């Protein structure tokens, strides 16, 4: 039996996946670089957003939905920029401590680590809020299509994993 916590975690992960996918769609349709500035529908999908992009692409978003999704990300852009700057400062403070010539204790970096953790948590919560807002834009038919596409991809992934497992431990995939 799956616990309520496990189901909640799966829901949060799916929400984050949806946000990543929608960000990619919104950025590729607006001519921008996306909320992180590095994904393009036509120019080689980097990172882990490619499979999720395909999921959302299967929903056949309307132009109105694309516009609304773009607006959701535009509204968050200024706060994201500030959060990234704060996160960068915290990481630089940690790096400065570790690269200094004197002794370093956990207490020396605790404040910066705490700041970085708080920023990460805040950003994750904002992504969840955005995912919910975006999910609420989708029609039941679009949600069903995304779900069906994900189920097919999960099945294919499981089949691939089983095939690799059959090959034995001494055979590895060629790259």
**What does the pLDDT read at residue 121?**
95
122-154 pLDDT, tens digit each: 999 998 888 888 889 999 999 999 999 999 989
The pTM of this model reads 0.59
Residue 165 lies in a domain: no
Number of structural domains the chain divides into: 1
Residue 113 lies in a domain: yes
62-92 pLDDT, tens digit each: 999 999 989 988 998 988 999 999 999 999 9
Residue 167 lies in a domain: no
Residue 61 lies in a domain: yes
Element (H, E) at 171: none
Residues 6 or more apart from 55 whose CB is under 8 A from it? 17, 18, 21, 146, 149, 150, 153
State which residues form the domain around 130: 4-101+108-136
């Amino acid at each position: 039996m799956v616990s309520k916590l496990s189901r909640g975690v799966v829901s949060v992960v799916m929400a984050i996946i949806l946000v990543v996918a929608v960000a990619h769609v919104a950025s590729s349709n607006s001519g921008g670089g996306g909320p992180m500035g590095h994904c393009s529908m036509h120019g080689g999908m980097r990172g882990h957003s490619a499979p999720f992009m395909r999921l959302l692409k299967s929903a056949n978003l309307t132009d109105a939905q694309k516009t609304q999704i773009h607006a959701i990300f535009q509204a968050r852009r200024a706060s994201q920029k500030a959060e990234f700057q704060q996160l960068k400062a915290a990481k630089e403070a940690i790096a400065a401590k570790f690269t200094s010539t004197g002794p370093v204790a956990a207490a020396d970096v605790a404040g910066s680590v705490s700041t970085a953790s708080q920023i990460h948590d805040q950003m994750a919560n904002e992504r969840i809020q955005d995912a919910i807002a975006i999910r609420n834009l989708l029609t039941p038919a679009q949600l069903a299509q995304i779900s069906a596409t994900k189920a097919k991809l999960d099945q294919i992934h499981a089949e691939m994993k089983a095939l690799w497992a059959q090959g034995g431990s001494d055979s590895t995939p060629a790259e």
